[in-house]
Amino acid sequence: MTIVRPYGDTTGDGMVQLSFTLPIAHDKRAEGAAVQLANKMGMDPALLVHAKAMGDGFTFFVVYGRVSHLVDTDKVQVVERDFPLLSAKEINAVIKRRLRRRLNVVGACIGTDAHTVGIDAILNLKGIAGEKGLEYYRELSVTNMGAQVSVPELVETARAQKADAVLVSQVVTQRDAHLQNTRAMTAAFREAMPAGKRPLLIVGGPRFDELMAGELGVDRIFGRGTTPREVASYLVHALIGSTS
C-alpha cells in the first residue's frame, strides 16, 4: 500500500495533533481564531483541547483533529546525502581500523576575515547545536590556526602537519571576498603540491553556493547549518571510503 493517512487510534482516521501560539490575549475569540487556523491547515473537524494565556497578549493552543490529506509514499522525493552520516564512535573506529593513524585536519579563516565563528563551531571541542567539534574525535588530530591566516602560512602548516584535509571558513562576503580568497587558496595548494599529495580542500560559510565546488577548485563546500559530525563523516567518506 502506498497511500497512507495519519493514524490516531483507528486505521484511516487521519487524526493529527498540533500546538502553536497566537499573539493575542486569551478569550473566546482567540479560541475561535485557533480553530480557524487549524481548519485552514486542513484539520476538519478541529478540536481545541487546550488554550492557555502566556504573558501579555499571547495564547498557547493544542488542537487535535482530522485531516483529509492522503500521502503517497511512492511519490516521496528526498535529497540523499552522498555519504553516510556516522556517529563519533563509528568515525573514530573507521579511522583507526582503515587509516591506522590519526587523520590530520588543519583549519583556518583566511584573508582579512576575523570571524572564527564557523571554524570554531566545527573544530572547537565546544562544537555547535549540542554536537561536539572535531577536536572531540580521538582519531582526528586538529590544528586550528584561527583568524586572518595568510594563504602561504596555511599551505606551510598543512605541509608541516601532513594535513589530510584543510578546512577553510569564510564568513565575510563583501565584494565576493569569500570567493576570491577561496580561489587564491586552491591555486596556492595546486602550485605547492602535486595532485596526489594535496590534502582534501574544504571550504565552508553561510553564503557559499554548495554547487560551486568545481568552479572554486575545492573538493567540497559546506553551507549554513553544517554540523561537525557531517564534516567528520564526509572526511571519512572522502579520504577512507566506505565503512564496511
Partner 1 sequence: MNKLGLDPLVVQRARALAARAGQPVVDLARSHTTVSVERAVLRLAGVSGADSDGIPWVNRLVDAVRAEVGLGRGVALPVFHALATHGLDDVTVLAQKAAAGAVSFAVPESRAEVAAARRAARRATGAGLKIIDRRRAERERLVKRLGDPKQRPWIYLIVATGDIYEDIPQAQAAARAGADVIAVIRSTGQSLLDYVPEGATREGFAGTYATQENFRLMRAALDETSRELGRYVRLTNYASGLCMPEIAALAGMERLDMMLNDSMYGILFRDINPIRTFVDQRFSRQVHARAGIIINTGEDNYLTTADAVEAAHTVTVSQLLNEFFAHEAGLADWQLGLGHAFEINPELPESFRLELAHALLARELFPDAPLKWMPPTKHMTGDVFRGNLLDGFFNLVGALTGQGILLVGMMTEAVVTPWLSDRDIALQNVRYVLNGAGNLHEDFVPAPGGFIQSRAHEVLGEAIELLEAIVDDTMLNAIADGTFGIMKRPADRGKGLDGVARHEDGYFNPVTEALEA
The beta-strand segments (E) located in the chain are 3-4, 15-22, 43-54, 58-67, 71-72, 103-109, 140-144, 165-169, 200-204, 220-222
Q: Which of 40, 52, 89, 126 is catalytic?
A: 126
162 is catalytic: no
Instruction: Name which of 138 and 197 has its Cβ closer to partner 1.
Output: 138
DSSP state string for 56-111: TTEEEEEEEEEE---EEGGG------SS----HHHHHHHIIIII-SPEEEEEEEBT
User: How many angstroms from the chain centroid is the CA of residue 188?
Assistant: 28
Closest separation in Å from C-beta 122 to partner 1 = 12
**Residues contributing to the site for partner 1 (CB under 8 A):** 19-21, 52, 54-56, 58, 60, 115-117, 120-121, 124-126, 128-130, 132, 135-136, 138, 144, 146
Q: Are strands 58-67 and 43-54 parallel, antiparallel or unpaired?
A: antiparallel
Instruction: Name which of 116 and 186 has its Cβ closer to partner 1.
Output: 116
Is residue 34 within 8 Å of 22, Cβ to Cβ?
Answer: yes
Q: Return the DSSP state at 218.
A: -
Closest separation in Å from C-beta 170 to partner 1 = 15
Closest separation in Å from C-beta 195 to partner 1 = 33
Beta-bridge partners for 175: none
Tally Cβ neighbours within 10 Å of residue 70.
10
Instruction: Name which of 61 and 234 has its Cβ closer to partner 1.
Output: 61
Closest separation in Å from C-beta 119 to partner 1 = 9
Instruction: Name which of 19 and 242 has its Cβ closer to partner 1.
Output: 19
Give the residue numbers annotated as catalytic, written as ranges.
126
